[in-house]
Chain A
Amino acid sequence: MSRFPEDDMAPRGPYPPTEEMLNEPVPQELQEAQKARLRAVWKTPEGWRYWSAVNNTEVGIWYTMTAFFFMLCAGVLALLMRTQLAVPDNTFLDADRYNQFFTMHGSAMMFLFAVPMFEAISILLLPAMLGARDMPFPRLSAYGYWCFLIGGIFVFGSVLFDSAPKSGWFMYPPLATRDEGIGSDIWLLGLSFIEVASIAAAVELIVGALKCRPPGMRVNIMPLYAWYVVVVGGMILFAFPPLIAGDFLFELERSMDWPFFDHERGGDPMLWQHLFWIFGHPEVYIIFLPSIAIAAMIVPTVARHPIVGYSWIVLSAVGTGFLSFGLWVHHMFTTGLPQISLGFFSAASEAVVIPTGIQLFAFVATLMVGRVKMTLPMLWIAGALAIFVAGGLTGVMLAIVPFNWQAHDTYFVVAHLHYTLFGGMVFPVMAGVYYFFPFFRKKLLSERLGRWSFWLIFVGFNLTFLPMHLTGLRGMPRRIFTYPEVAGWDWLNLMSTAGAYVTAAGFAVFVYDLLRPKGYQGVIPRNPWGGGTLEWSHDVPEEAWGARSVPHITTRYPLWDQPKLLERIDSGRFYMPDALEGVRETITTSVIDARPLVAQRVTGPAWITLWAAAFTGGAFILPTFSFYTPAIICAAFAIICVLYWLWTTTAQVPTEPRKDVGLGLSLPTYASGPNAVGWWAVFITMLGDSTAFASLVFGFFFYWTARPDFIPAGADHATGLAVAAGILLFVMSWGLTVGARTLNRRGSVPAARGALVLAPLCAAGGAGLVILSVLPLDPVSHVYPAVMWALMVWLVAHTFLGVIMQLYCLAGSIWGKMTPRYDADLCNTTLFWHFMVLTALVTGFILGVAPRMMP
């Protein structure tokens, strides 16, 4: 056993706990008193205040149900489309409405169901799997949820007003940029808003999986689900920002007429396709991996044996995460790119089969060595496997370029993608609902109805989509609202339509089972499936505290392999069994070995998150109708709300510098720098932000390779001197921020404040000069000046944020929220400015240097 060093901000006391310490009983009265205090602290608000809750169990359930609701809505659209296609030359839907429906079906299934569902389920389950009390940033989850709800209703609701986007979920310009009406704007702004929420959730989940594990849960024994969360979170960070950058350019073209995708003024519609699919292909794996993660939790329980090939599964998750970024052009094989380029993507698309295969074979291997007990969740997993393997095999075929030229944009692809998504997402999620329902509702779903639902959906699904392979090979293209009788596709389509109704019946059975009253069941067993991971240590009946005490974990399946674990958790023998100060807390630990680091305060119920989400929604939604002034006012209020929320609840100067968390361990109550969860959140967010910026830079070089008239001969450039001076000021602002942190740490508070006064002035001056430098250029005239302006807008918007952060620290220093010892805010601001100065330098290079050097 080692002891932590006697440092002021370091943990103190014995760690890990000895068996002897753990055997010490906790007195009964103390247990009751602790429970009462914990219950009071973690109490879910009642009555109408219920909606101010931020706890992961509440937010997770709202999130899950909302995403599921959107799935049902999008499913209804699918049924209507199938009805239209049942017979040739049908007139059930007209072209315009059909086009709105298929656009909305795809967009909603992707953005309002598949990705949010992963986030929802993870918010719900991850803390329980990690024996954590809550997510590290509960209010951020709540904010993300409300953003999702507002954005989702706004986007989906447009269908009811006949004003939905109708250019396909991929929104290819020029069709989408030239679309009259507000459909395209609804798509762009509404979904950008949701993407921001997705990134927020990804940040939170990564930090949760890396920093909020229970003591002792090293990376080699954490639940596979947590590994997948880290990988998928990372993928979201690198996949969504290119789309956000694309949306940014797209909306600038729609509202300001800057010609990024207009070929007549030097733009290129292909840039959108690249940015969209750099997002779009990893997206498929972002959907698929978390669902496989659910399977990775169910399979060992069913096999009654630890997972075989844990490292193999980790490898395949990480490997898939990487390789999936090398596949995007296989959506663009027909766009006339050079053969060698196509070959790269064909090869990478085949390579990704290997990690995916390893994942599936690891499951089969586990079932092989275990003693299998078929349960209802496993039935769904079996269905998933059957369907996914078929989808994977057609995927191998589609990665072959000549075959792809034939099958691309036909019903063959429709069949393929539904096979991968049903097998890789819907079926595993259904399995997850059946498996985890006892965990989050403390009731069981019906075995009999579950089998009915399974067989209806399984048969219906195959009846719908199996014939589509043939329909596609017979030449039926996608996205057509009608087809002539001569084409010979009629009986295949009729079959598909019939299958769609059978599938819908299966979902109806499931919804009935989900919603029917289950009060008659009484108290259910605590661990009905006999699982071995921590979520099955949940309390029945429900308690809002998450974990009665945070256990010390030394095995992959603690409920199977750590005797007396449950009883010790329940008696409060482990860490943080109490809430003496009356505040919500959880333990944060180190990334690799999960050594306890900090007793982290987490936030409780609040309305401010709802207000912040509502104003953010206004800022995104109002510009759709060209209400720019109200939108700016909303944005200002959103910023004020967020500042209020940060100021009042995050990184508070603690009353006591450290506290006893049980088992003799004393942890600091405050952390700054890399020990603080907030620092990680800023770091991860800025990685995503930099990816979006890199996408803009990619755009600049893309135009240069793709367009002979880029940069136009004799074009005006940004004023070199202004750019140089501006960037210099940015570097100074960065230097002053770093200096302020150092000075503050040393205790030279006045000097630090001085630096924090000068830094925003420098930043503002720098931004002003950069604006001046591009003023002579006319962004409407050609794509080259438009790109310069876009980079300027990006830099200025970030400067605005950076200045707010600097002033926030200054205010914190003046009003005692930040001291030389408690300087998390300033650390985070400095981190932001590291990224900021990099952005400024690259922008300066592209504005001032690159165009003058390029041939």
Chain B
Amino acid sequence: MNRMSGTGEADNFREERDSLWRLIFTPTIWTFHFAIAYAATAVTCARHGGEEAVDLLRTGVIGLTVVALGLILWLGYGAWRQWDIIEDRDWENDQGHNEDRHQFMGHAAFLLAIISFIGVVFVTLPVVLIGTCR
């Protein structure tokens, strides 16, 4: 409990809210990647549709993917560190201590980063494999 003592309740609260949001950072990146790719495709195909426009779209989406994957990797690495599995080999983090809660949040965020990573890669596949608006 030492980490907590000496800090005001308001500070606690801020820290707590921070970590709940952090849990959903990576899936949110997936969401934005997905939404932007979808919207860009819809506008490109409905308003332009030519081959050049599609090529531009593909380049753009792949660029976006690289950025998204980079962000996810970075956040995932942070979460991995927070999970701290190598050091303490604790898979479950099922005790009622701050440390357990902290590492649990890290673990869940890390796993979500994996899922988001797979999601982003999957969603990029159509752009790579299909080159037409038809």
Contacts and interface: CB of A to CB of B under 8 A. Distances in A.
Given A338-B133, A339-B130, A344 B34 contact: yes
A344 B96 contact: no
B91 to A, nearest CB: 8
A596 B43 CA distance: 51
A592 B24 contact: no
Contacts of B94: 220-221, 306, 310, 555-556
Interface string A539-558: 00000000000000111100
Most buried by B among A5, A311, A314, A323: A311
Interface in A696-752: 705-706
Q: Is the interface of B mostly helix, strand, loop or mixed?
A: helix
Interface string B121-134: 01101110110111
Contact of B92 (A310, A325, A348): A310
Nearest to A3: B5
B27 to A, nearest CB: 4
Contacts of B19: 592
Interface string B104-133: 110110011001101100110111011011
Given A220-B94, A318-B108, A592-B20, A347 B45 contact: no
Contacts of B43: 705
Given A315-B112, A354-B118, A592-B20, A340 B133 contact: yes
Nearest to B35: A326
A340 B111 contact: no
Given A323-B119, A348-B122, A593-B16, A216 B108 contact: no
A318 B92 contact: no
A843 B50 CA distance: 33
A5 B1 CA distance: 15
B4 to A, nearest CB: 6
Contacts of B115: 315-316, 319, 323, 351, 354-355
A595 B12 contact: yes
Give the size range of B's interface with the partner: 35 or more
Interface string B26-62: 0110110010011001110111000000100100000
B100 interface: yes
Nearest to B28: A322
A9 to B, nearest CB: 9
Nearest to A675: B13
B17 A591 contact: yes
A343 interface: yes
A190 B22 CA distance: 39
Given A341-B42, A343-B130, A590-B13, 8 more contacts: A5-B8, A11-B9, A315-B115, A323-B27, A325-B31, A344-B38, A348-B123, A555-B94
30 contacts: A1-B1, A2-B1, A5-B8, A5-B9, A216-B96, A220-B93, A221-B95, A310-B92, A312-B111, A315-B111, A318-B112, A319-B27, A319-B111, A322-B24, A322-B27, A322-B30, A325-B31, A326-B31, A338-B133, A339-B132, A340-B57, A340-B127, A340-B132, A342-B126, A343-B126, A348-B34, A555-B96, A591-B17, A593-B16, A706-B46
